[in-house]
Amino acid sequence: MQVMQLTNRATDIKPSGGHNLSRLSRVDFPKFEGDNVQGWIYKCQQFFELDAIAEGKKVTIAAIHLTGRALVWHQSFMKQFAIGVWPSWENYKIAIIARFGEGPYDGPLAELVKLKQMGSVA
């Protein structure tokens, strides 16, 4: 009986959009190592909306899920802020896209640019 009551309460939570969504959903937050930053940001924003994450917690939650070179970048990026001070999600997105976003020679064109001629043209 208590389990059913708790389950009913969890599904009654209504985020600001008015949807019946549970903060107890089993959606995993996406990990990010440095590849496909646009896709990662899209998934983050979907998670934030689904779980009604407060604006001030978004960067903190995202940072916990960074690995590899993305985590190294984050640690270096955060040195410009005082301890306990976090950038806004919008500013963080701009910074992480500047570092990991695709430039003019990334993506499919990057492979073409990397080609090296070995031997003669003939």
What DSSP string describes 60-93?
HHHHHTB-HHHHHHHHHHHTTS-TT----HHHHH
Full-model pTM: 0.65
pLDDT of residue 108: 65
φ/ψ bin of 18: left (φ > 0), alpha (ψ from -120 to 50), beta (otherwise): left
Going from N- to C-terminal start, the domains of the chain cover: 29-104
Report the distance separating Cα 94 and Cα 92, nearest Å: 5
Q: What are phi and psi of 66, to 5 degrees?
A: -85, 145
For the segment 78-89, what is each residue's pLDDT rounded down to a tens digit? 999 999 899 999
Give CA–CA dist 110/6, Å, rounded.
52
pLDDT-flagged residues of the chain (< 70): 1-25, 103-110, 112-113
